[in-house]
Amino acid sequence: MQTFNVIDGYVDGNPASHVQVKDWLYSLGWQPCTFDYKREPNGDTRTIPQVREDGELTESVIRLADVDPAVKVLEGLSIVQHRIGVVKSFLNALDSEGYVFAGVHGLTNTLRFKHVKPLANLPSVDKAYGEDIRGLLIAPEGYVLCGADMDSLEQNTKMHYMTPYDPEYVATQQTEDFDAHLDLAKFAGAVTEEQIEEHKRTGSLKSVRKSYKVTNYSATYGIKPLGLSRRGGFSVKDAEKLLDAFWKRNWALEAIAKDAKVKTTRDGKMWLYNTVSGFWYSLRYEKDKFSTLNQSTGVYCFDTWLDNCINLGLSAIGQFHDEAIFLVKKGDEPKTAVAVSKAMDETNDKLKLNVTLSTAPEFGDNYSEIH
């Protein structure tokens, strides 16, 4: 007996259905690069592919627009849904005087704040509706906001640790027009100095730079070839070559991790000693030695600077990773800028790093004008 499939009608897809969206993406050849991990009652870990991260489509989804342009519609929908959610979270969190509370749910193992909604992962001003959303956070009448973040904080702390091992590379990184991503591409033999100079004029190496940018950011935190291939959208073989180039160029990071002081307590937990802060930090895995060391140093540097700012009389009303927000009376901007700079000088004098930390305060009537 022969069987036939008969289509008796069509039902419109539901873009709000995660299952339908993922099924459609898989039909286009989707290879997820971002995952959420859920602990099951039996102790197993369930890996869940993510279509979005912080309200934006992941790179692996965006790349599918070349297969089916309709993916771009999904991107627009995703952004609008996320931005509406952010504004609603602001409204839900308002107190009786129109303020929202910047909350945290504890600390990470490096003592960084775990920020929570509504003031967490806000879209930047260069993203769709980012300026509008940040512009909703305003200064009270008679005041302005002062925003100051520590310039390239974790890059600077990384150079602090690298200096005794590879001072020549550190000096190269400190040149005015240094581009870490194209430098790695040049080191790997993928581009020449002449091509880099041409890129500065025309942007001709954008696609090459993007691959090495993904590698630079991911490799520092111990990513493996398979994970890098998914995140960057290239083959595992190419990912292996990229990681090989990274670790040859950044050999000092492995040496720093090898020399880091680690102890294991009687309960089997590992702790890493930070020579800058003098603290011991929980170390989850051996591969996390450098990332734990570097991030904890950045946190300590920032906290030291913020403490100095407060001791100089500045009124801190918010902080996010390497960024501080101060409430300033109108007319007090000049002396506030002096205090922010003095606090940084005091920080550098105290820490005596192999690099000089810096910041540049900005003032505005709302958050979009200062960050």
What is the tens place of the pLDDT at every residue in 262-283?
A: 999 999 999 999 999 999 999 9
What's the rounded Cα separation, in Å, for the pair 245 and 250?
Answer: 8
Query: Tell me: the pLDDT tens digits for 59-74?
Result: 889 889 999 998 988 8
Neighbours of 30 (CB within 10 A): 21
Confidence (pLDDT) at 189? 92
What's the rounded Cα separation, in Å, for the pair 187 and 191?
Answer: 8
Is 88 exposed, middle or buried (CB count within 10 Å of its CB: 0-12, 13-18, 19+)?
exposed
Q: The tokens of 362 are what?
A: 């900005």
Domains of the chain, first to last: 18-93 (no CATH), 108-150+260-371 (3.30.70.370), 176-259 (no CATH)
Query: Tell me: the pLDDT tens digits for 182-231?
Result: 999 999 999 999 999 999 999 999 888 988 988 998 888 788 898 888 77
pTM: 0.84
Is 316 exposed, middle or buried (CB count within 10 Å of its CB: 0-12, 13-18, 19+)?
middle
Q: Yes or no: say if 51 and 61 are a contact pair by the CB < 8 Å rule.
A: yes
Q: Write down how long the chain is.
A: 371
Strand runs labelled E in 71-211 = 104-107, 113-115, 143-149
Tell me, what DSSP letter sits at residue 366?
B
What's the rounded Cα separation, in Å, for the pair 327 and 102?
Answer: 14
